[in-house]
Amino acid sequence: MENMFEIRDPVHGFIRLNEWEREIINHQVFQRLRRIRQLGMTDMVYPGAAHTRFEHSLGVMHIATRMFDHIQRRRERFLQDELSYDDAGLKRDRVLVRLAALLHDVGHGPFSHAAEELMDTNPQTGRPYKHEDYSAAVIRFLMKDVIRDHKFNENYHITADEIADFLNQQRSAGRSLIWKDLVSSQLDADRADYLLRDSHHIGVAYGRYDLERLLNTLTIAIDEETTSPTLAVEDDGVHAVEALIIARYMMFTQVYFHRTRRAYDRHATLAIKELLRKHQAGSLPNPDVFPPPTSLKNIEAYLTWDDWRVQGMICSGLAGDHGDRLLNRDHYRCVYETPEQPRPADADLMQQIQQRLGTMPWFLDTAEKSWYKFEKADEIEVLLRPGLADETLVPLGIQSAVVHGLKAVNQSRVYVTVGDRPLALSRVIELRDGQ
């Protein structure tokens, strides 16, 4: 009989692990997540926001497993008849989902999303790499043995490449990709955990929703447009999904896009950039960014960067002006912000303000650049299954008046130094009154 272990979690109570998962968690790659803050430097605004990617990853595995189990119980006949699953296949995919959910964030950089702007460009796509690319590379290059060689894997033969392909949604992951929505979608376990966890640690109620009701109404069905299985919700779970989406909206406007928190994101990004430039000069073609996730050497170098290292360098005065601002809590101040849904006149005023700031140091922040951005309701691809006997899927944005009424947040803000704030404000007022 396999040994089971329990970790006490402030959000979910006890999270259960087997010996294999415990060994993966004890791997130095996963332990590094203890040194990566979930919300960067948000504790400069909300002092309780000191939780890490480590505990979040455990929570995602826990919720993803509960989602899998609920769907399996509710749709056992569908899984067998329509998707040709047997007990062995379901057991194997359950293990794969747990490991993928557990490891989905191992590629995060220091201060989480603040480092994402410093990732090199992928020559194949012409776009910057994302932390998901680093997560997949970390799993492929450094976690093969701990995944492949454990005795509990004798019946499953799961490989590091398979987990990485699942996270990257590669076709090589095969039929298991029907469960990808549990880890990456509008209703994924990632969002389900961080909304509750961030709210708990920050001390706000904005991110709370009815997780139990959501779990009890999750299902899986065939999307007629793609002819592929997709995560859905029964009609009696609509209000639970609405609550989750509203929670995302409220957390975005009140926490993730908080004007001071976003200023610290900017300072953290530029401080890390300064440290990268100094440390990597002469060793990389572009020393201002992290090494690309294309080799074992690059991944090992990338993983040496975490919050502890960056904070130590900041305290030593090595991170330049922006590092000093973090150390002394001397962040840039917002002097103008548009409404959440700006009108053309608001956008015009923002452009005029930027022109009038002249040579003073300033930066622009926009909601669409945020990693937690809130999308337009029509873009929320949650699908509704209107009844147990009806397999028709309907977009939630059409079915729900609440969701349909939510609009994308397109707010933008301009920031200047404390010393320049009085002059900048006077120019803002002059331009605003002149309209």
Q: What is the pLDDT of residue 375?
A: 67
Structure tokens at 434: 């002149």
pLDDT of amino acid 1: 58
257 near 370, Cβ under 8 Å?
yes
Taking 70 as the pLDDT cut, the residues of the chain under it are 1, 173, 375-391, 435
Rounded to whole angstroms, the Cα distance separating 77 from 256 reads 41
pLDDT of residue 112: 92
In a domain, 318, yes or no: no
Q: How many CB atoms lie within 10 A of CB 127?
A: 9
The whole-angstrom separation of Cα 135 and Cα 298 is 13
Q: What sign for the dihedral angle of Cα 236, 179, 36, 294?
A: negative
Give CA separation, 33 vs 111, 163, 208, 414, in Å. Answer: 11, 18, 24, 33
Q: What are phi and psi of 252, to 5 degrees?
A: -65, -50
- CATH number, domain at 172? 1.10.3210.10
CB 16 within 8 A of CB 5: yes
pLDDT at res. 402: 84
pLDDT of residue 386: 54
Pairing of strands 13-18, 4-9: antiparallel
Instruction: Compute the 3-state secondary structure of the chain and give helix, strand, coil in percent, each to the nearest 5.
Output: 55, 15, 30
Helix (H, G, I), strand (E, B) or coil at 381: coil
Is 269 within a domain?
A: no
Total domains, the chain: 1
The reply to whether 128 falls in a domain is no
What's the pLDDT score for residue 7?
A: 97
pTM for the model? 0.94
By DSSP bridging, strand 383-385 and strand 228-234 are parallel
Q: Is residue 15 part of a domain?
A: yes
Write down the pLDDT at residue 186.
84
pLDDT in tens, 165-202: 999 988 776 788 899 999 988 889 999 999 999 999 99
Tens-place pLDDT, residues 67-103? 999 999 999 999 999 899 999 999 999 999 999 999 9
- Whether residue 136 is contained in a domain is answered as no
Do residues 116 and 40 make contact, with C-beta atoms less than 8 angstroms apart? Answer: no
- Pairing mode, strands 362-366 and 412-416: antiparallel
Range of the domain at 22: 4-106+143-257
Name the CA radius of gyration of the chain, rounded. 23
Answer whether residue 176 is part of any domain: yes
Q: Strands of 333-337's sheet, edge to edge?
A: 333-337, 412-416, 362-366
Given this model, what pLDDT does residue 51 score? Answer: 97
Is 207 inside a domain boundary? yes
Q: Give me the pLDDT at residue 232, please.
A: 87
253 found inside a domain: yes
SS3 9: strand
Element counts in the chain: helices (H) and strands (E): 19, 11
pLDDT of residue 118: 96
402-411 burial, b at 16+ Cβ within 10 Å, e below that, comes to bbeebebbbb
